[in-house]
Every structure is written in structure tokens, then in C-alpha cells.
Amino acid sequence: MSPGNTRDTVTCAPHIQQTTACAVRDLLDRLADKWSLLVVELLGPGPRRFAELRREIDGISQRMLTLTLRNLERDGLVRRTVYPVVPPRVDYELTTPGASLLAAVQPLRTWARTHHDNVASARTSYDTRADPTGESTTPATIGSL
């Protein structure tokens, strides 16, 4: 592989699977998924039960929440505690690395909340503007090309 070529690093080919770049990419992929950072944010104030998390996350299925929590637990970001009571009680909370992740993404969350309206406006403007040929570039037009 030539210097600067990241093709194999990005795809984590078997012969370099143990490299730091691949491990970092894998972790970033996990954190950039649809639900992980939202779960981390909701666990920020303290332990939550599964049903509480599910009620607070619009659109997440039980299966997807289970997978997300398992992956975060596997990565050492979330701790799962099972209490031996009937009915069973399971709490989820951030570990020390999970809490530090929350602190690290706080500026990103703040930026997203601050600029949400600007981004929405830019998207609307982009989606409705005319392209150089004078045709509309709305999603319906693009899909029919």
C-alpha cells in the first residue's frame, strides 16, 4: 500500500484489522450511528431503565435499543446492572469513559441546537433552487431524472 492510501484502512481489510486506524474507525462508526449518542445523552443525568429510554427515544424499536445498549456496553461506555427482584429490574448508566464521551460531544450538541434552524433553511434553499440549466433541483425532480 502506498503512503497516504487509506483504502484498506477504511474497509478494515483482514490483514490490517488490528491497526489503530481500523479500531478508531470502528469506534467512530459506532458513535456516529443513528442512536448511540442519543442514548449516551439520555444516560448523562444518571441511571435509566430500559422502558424509560424507550419512551424517551422517538422511533426506536425495542430490538434497536437493545442492540445499541449492548454495543455501548461492549465498548465500555455503558454499565448494565441487573437487580435480583421480581419482576427483574435492569438499570443502564454511563461508565467513566461514557461520561467523558458525553463531555466531549457536548460542544457538538450545543452547535447542532444553535444552528438547527440555519441548516434547515439551507436545506430548503438548496432543495428548491434551480440548477444551471434552469431546471428545479427539488428531490422529486432529481428522482425522476
What angle is formed at CA 32 by the lines to CA 45 and CA 52, rounded to 5 degrees?
35
Each residue of 121-139: pLDDT tens digit? 999 999 998 665 656 555 5
Give me the pLDDT at residue 24, please: 80
* pLDDT beyond 60 at 12: no
Give me the pLDDT at residue 1, please: 47
Residues 102/81/46/72 CA torsion (nearest 10 deg)? 20
Give me the pLDDT at residue 100, please: 96
Q: What confidence category does residue 8 fall into, taking pLDDT thresholds of 50, 70 and 90? A: very low
Q: How many CA atoms lie within 13 A of 115 on its CB side?
A: 9
Each residue of 63-87: pLDDT tens digit? 999 999 999 999 999 999 999 999 8
* pLDDT beyond 50 at 9: no
Separation CA 74–CA 141 (nearest Å): 44
The per-residue DSSP string of 18-72 comes to: TSHHHHHHHHHHHHTSSSHHHHHHHHTTS-EEHHHHHHHSTT--HHHHHHHHHHH
- How long a stretch of residues is the chain? 145
Would you call 129 exposed, middle or buried from its count of C-beta atoms within 10 A (0-12, 13-18, 19+)?
Answer: exposed
Q: What is the distance, to the nearest Å, from the Cα of residue 142 to the centroid of all Cα atoms in its chain?
A: 28
Give me the pLDDT at residue 140, please: 57
Q: Is the pTM of this model over 0.85?
A: no
Give me the pLDDT at residue 123, please: 92
* pLDDT beyond 50 at 2: no
Q: What confidence category does residue 25 fall into, taking pLDDT thresholds of 50, 70 and 90? A: confident
Which residues have CB under 8 Å from 135's CB, separation 6+? 141
Give me the pLDDT at residue 84, please: 92
